[in-house]
Amino acid sequence: MTKKTYIQNFRVDSPPVGATVRYECLSCGSVLKSQPTHAVACDCYNIIVDVDAGRFSVKDPLSLRVFVEE
């Protein structure tokens, strides 16, 4: 069983990245990997992760939660 440990006090413009780090959008409920193999976005396009371009963007930071999956 996986356990979610939510990270507090991260920088919204530069959240933590790692193999077990996930981004959760509270608006649409999507969960994105922080190190996807291709650019990904949540269903409502609030969160966009484009590793190749080294970009992370979030429109509504209040809808972003970051957790570590263990």
Between 17 and 44, name the residue whose CB sits nearer to Zn ion.
44
Least distance in Å: CB of 35 to Zn ion? 19
Phi, psi (deg, nearest 5) at residue 28: -115, -10
- x/- letters, 10..49, toward Zn ion (CB under 5 A): ---------------x-xx-------------x-x-x---
The site for Zn ion (CB under 5 A) is made up of 25, 27-28, 42, 44, 46
